[in-house]
Amino acid sequence: MNLHASYHHVSVCVSDLERARAFYGDRLGLKEIPRPAFDFPGVWYELDGNIALHIMVAKRPPARVAHQPFDVIYPHFALWTDDADLTCDRLRAEGIEVRDFVSTPTGLRQLFVDDPDGNRVEFIGPTRAPRVRRMEGDEPTGERR
């Protein structure tokens, strides 16, 4: 028996609600949804029919961590996109720095962006560029893309 029936939400802490709204709502285009009247500021966004993003203003948000050099192991949440190439173009057109994980073994394009407080968001989806999917236990082929 599973302990859960479905995914419900992902939450991130921020220091400035309006700056977070500008990033997630205006720049990423997420749809704001109603939020219960908690005793702390925040905003909710719809990610999918069954999952939401909960933005919470923390009195002392976690200190922003310098992400250099870039590492995909840093905590993040991922959003599926049907066209990672178009998504990359749109993010860059918004002036958002995009880290493109080219050597991914997924066979998909993985794009990473940071919100103004350093919370990492991944966009993952198909690309027109050739990618090779490699699974753990596969023999190396010498191909790297």
pLDDT band at 143 (very low <50, low <70, confident <90, very high): very low
Report the predicted TM-score, pTM, of the whole model to 2 decimal places.
0.80
What residue spans in the chain does CATH classification 3.10.180.10 cover? 1-59, 68-138
Give the phi and the psi of residue 90 in degrees, each rounded to 5: -70, -40
pLDDT 10s digits, 78-137: 999 999 999 999 999 999 999 988 777 888 889 999 999 889 999 999 988 877 777 777
Domain 68-138, CATH number (from 3.40.50.300, 3.10.180.10, 3.40.1080.10, 1.10.10.10): 3.10.180.10
Angle at 121 between CA 119 and CA 114, to 5 degrees: 50
Give, in order, the Cα–Cα distances in Å from 124 to each of 1, 106, 110, 111, 121: 30, 10, 5, 6, 10
